[in-house]
A and B are shown apart, each in its own frame.
Chain A
């Protein structure tokens, strides 16, 4: 597709359930990022993938959060045993080769509400 595609666009889940959020980056982009944005706040870095290299997981807030990237393209962010504080928009982004200064393009986000 032309842009970064994320699904679902909205998800309401019960506390304690697991959720999976999907990201399809721009074709040809090897770098993929996940960010979290709580209501009225800035973006928090979660994880970064570049090609076949080991991901940078330094932003993951707890071991309930994990992400994988299959075939160097689609990525899935998984949140286990969701808590109310996990409610946020989860934004995926991609860039060409992840080089310094390369433009990073964002998707529209997956809005997660934990009730």
Chain B
């Protein structure tokens, strides 16, 4: 069965303390892996799409990487405004919908 698992479920960091979020997947025919940020009471905000193993993308303090089994979202020197739930999703085979993980709730303390 196709699955997307995110870890940890929750992460608390001090401002400036870099860390990584993990998204592991067991799917056939990966067409794209997506990262979204979701603030409380808001819809998911698109961050990155990765298409193939070895690909990396960066935006401000965030960097996403992809291997054949997992993706990492690296957060460098985070700030309190980076606090949010980070969602990983995959698009696979001929399906056009995304299958989401349950998310990692990140809290950055000042």
Enumerate chain A residues within 8 angstroms of B34, measured Cβ to Cβ: 103-104
Contact call A45/B43, Cβ cutoff below 8 A:
no
- Residue from the list A31, A35, A91, A109 in contact with B96, Cβ < 8 A: A31
Contact call A42/B102, Cβ cutoff below 8 A:
yes
Contact call A103/B97, Cβ cutoff below 8 A:
no
Contact call A59/B97, Cβ cutoff below 8 A:
yes
A99 to B102, CA, bound (A): 24
B103 interfacial by beta-carbon distance below 8 Å = yes
A28 to B95, CA, bound (A): 21
Q: Looking across the interface, which residue of chain A has its beta carbon closest to that of B48?
A: A103
Contact call B31/A100, Cβ cutoff below 8 A:
yes
Contact call B49/A48, Cβ cutoff below 8 A:
no
Enumerate chain A residues within 8 angstroms of B102, measured Cβ to Cβ: 41-42
Given known contacts A100-B32, A101-B51, is B97 in contact with A106 (CB within 8 Å)? no
A48 to B44, CA, bound (A): 17
Enumerate chain A residues within 8 angstroms of B91, measured Cβ to Cβ: 100-101
B22 CB, min distance to chain A CBs, angstroms: 15
Q: How many residues of A contact B (CB 8 A)?
A: 25
Q: Mark B75-110, 1 if CB is under 8 A from A, else 0.
A: 000000000000101010001111111110000000
B35 CB, min distance to chain A CBs, angstroms: 11
Q: Looking across the interface, which residue of chain B has its beta carbon closest to that of A92?
A: B43
A50 to B34, CA, bound (A): 20
A65 interfacial by beta-carbon distance below 8 Å = no
- Residue from the list B49, B87, B97 in contact with A45, Cβ < 8 A: B97
Given known contacts A42-B87, A43-B87, is B96 in contact with A106 (CB within 8 Å)? no
Residues of B at the A interface (CB closer than 8 Å) are 31-32, 34, 36, 42-46, 49, 51, 87, 89, 91, 95-103
Residues of A at the B interface (CB closer than 8 Å) are 4, 31, 33, 35, 41-45, 48, 50, 56, 59, 91, 98-101, 103-109
Q: Which 6 pairs between the two chains have the least Cβ-Cβ distance? A: A106-B43, A100-B31, A101-B32, A42-B102, A43-B100, A45-B97
